[in-house]
Amino acid sequence: MTQTMQRKLNDSVVARWGALILIALMMFFAYMFVDVISPISSLLETQRGWSPDVYGTVVGSEYFLNVFVLFLIFAGIILDKMGVRFTGLLSAGLMIIGAGIKLYGISDYFVGGGFGWEFFNSFWPSMPGSAKVACIGFAIFGCGAEMAGVTVSRAIARWFDGKEMALAMGVEMAIARLGVTAVFFLSPRLAAIAPESVVRPVAVVGALLCIGFLTFLVFTFMDRKLDRQMGNIEEIEEDKFKVKDLGNLFGSKTFMIVAFLCVLYYSAIFPFQKFAVPMLQNTLAISSQEASDLFAWFPIGAMILTPLLGAFLDFRGKGATMLILGAILMCACHLTFALVPLTKPIAYIAIILLGVSFSLVPAALWPSVPKLVDGRYLGSGYSVIFWIQNLGLWAFPLIIGKTLQATNPGVSEQIQAGVEGVTYNYTVPMLVFASLGVLAFFLGIWLKRLDTKNHYGLELPNVKK
Element (H, E) at 11: none
The mean pLDDT of the chain is 87
The yes-or-no verdict on residue 175 having pLDDT over 70 is yes
Phi-psi region of 220 (alpha: psi -120 to 50; beta: other; left: phi over 0): alpha
Give the three-state DSSP class for 206.
helix
Out of 86-95, 121-130, 416-425, least confident range: 416-425
**Per-residue pLDDT band at 230 (split at 50, 70, 90):** confident
- How far is it, in rounded angstroms, from Cα 4 to Cα 445? 43
Out of 26-40, 256-270, 297-311, least confident range: 297-311
The answer to whether 307 and 20 are in contact (CB under 8 A) is no
Count CB atoms within 10 A of the CB of residue 117. Answer: 16
In this predicted model, what pLDDT tens digit does every residue of 376-405 receive, in sequence order?
A: 667 677 778 878 888 999 999 999 999 999
According to the model, what pLDDT value does residue 232 have?
A: 53
**Per-residue pLDDT band at 243 (split at 50, 70, 90):** low
- Alpha-carbon distances, residue 133 vs 107, 136, 214, 265, 401 (angstroms): 10, 5, 27, 29, 19
**Per-residue pLDDT band at 174 (split at 50, 70, 90):** confident
According to the model, what pLDDT value does residue 4 have?
A: 44
**Per-residue pLDDT band at 242 (split at 50, 70, 90):** low
CA 103 to chain centre: 20
In this predicted model, what pLDDT tens digit does every residue of 343-381 receive, in sequence order?
A: 999 999 999 889 888 888 877 877 778 888 776 667 677
Residue type, 70: L
According to the model, what pLDDT value does residue 203 have?
A: 97
More confident residue, 257 or 77: 257
Residue type, 10: N
The yes-or-no verdict on residue 313 having pLDDT over 50 is yes
Out of 76-90, 187-201, 333-347, 368-382, least confident range: 368-382
Out of 240-249, 277-286, 408-417, 443-452, least confident range: 240-249
